């Protein structure tokens, strides 16, 4: 039910959907519709803006947009694994592994020092 509610709210876009319309679209009652909307709000997925519609108090529901996650290659730039001849043979339980690798450890320490300004 929550997934369907999200789909309806998402489809409504910027103008949002009235909570009093949502429960009708979901084929449920106002009490259950209200519970669903409150749960989605608590999860941080939607906003509920109070409004008056046809003389009754209700809420405009809108999807909360999150900025797209930025993926940057900067954080792994210089990692020795990218050019390591042992990459395909490296792993937990193998002779070459990330836990005991001096090259990887040195690179991580260097990154930590850079980021902490040291
Ligand atoms: S952890 Fe060490 S041995 Fe393994 S791939 Fe990276 S650099 Fe190579």
- Residue in 76, 78, 86, 105 to alter for ligand 1 test, most ligand atoms within 8 A of Cβ: 86
- Whole-prediction pTM value? 0.54
The residue among 75, 50, 74 whose CA lies nearest residue 62 is 50
* CB-CB contact of 8 with 22 (8 Å): yes
Pocket of ligand 1 (CB under 6 A): 80-81, 84, 86-87, 90, 96, 98, 101, 103-104
The Cβ-side half-sphere exposure at 100, using a 13 Å CA radius, reads 8
Average pLDDT, the chain: 89
> What is the rounded average pLDDT of the residues 3-29?
92
78 Cα: distance to centroid of ligand 1 (angstroms): 12
Ligand 1 mean position, distance from CA 76 (Å):
13
Q: Are 68 and 29 spatial neighbours (Cβ–Cβ below 8 Å)? A: no
The CA distances from residue 27 to 5, 22, 23, 62, in Å, are 11, 9, 6, 19
Pocket test of ligand 1: the residue of 76, 85, 87, 109 to mutate, having most ligand atoms within 8 Å of its CB, is: 87
Burial 96-115 (b: 16+ CB within 10 A, else e): beeeebeebeebeeeeeeee
Interval 38-59: pLDDT, tens? 999 998 889 999 999 999 999 9
């Amino acid at each position: 039910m929550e997934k369907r509610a999200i789909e309806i709210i998402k489809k409504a876009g910027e103008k949002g959907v009235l909570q009093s319309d949502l429960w009708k679209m979901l084929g449920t009652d106002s009490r259950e519709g209200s519970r669903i909307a409150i749960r989605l709000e608590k999860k941080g997925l939607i906003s509920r803006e109070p409004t008056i519609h046809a003389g009754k108090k209700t809420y405009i529901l809108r999807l909360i947009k999150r900025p797209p996650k930025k993926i940057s290659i900067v954080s792994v730039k210089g990692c020795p694994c990218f050019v390591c001849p042992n990459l395909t043979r490296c792993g937990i339980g193998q002779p070459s592994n990330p836990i005991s690798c001096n090259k990887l450890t040195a690179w991580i320490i260097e990154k930590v020092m850079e980021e902490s300004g040291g």
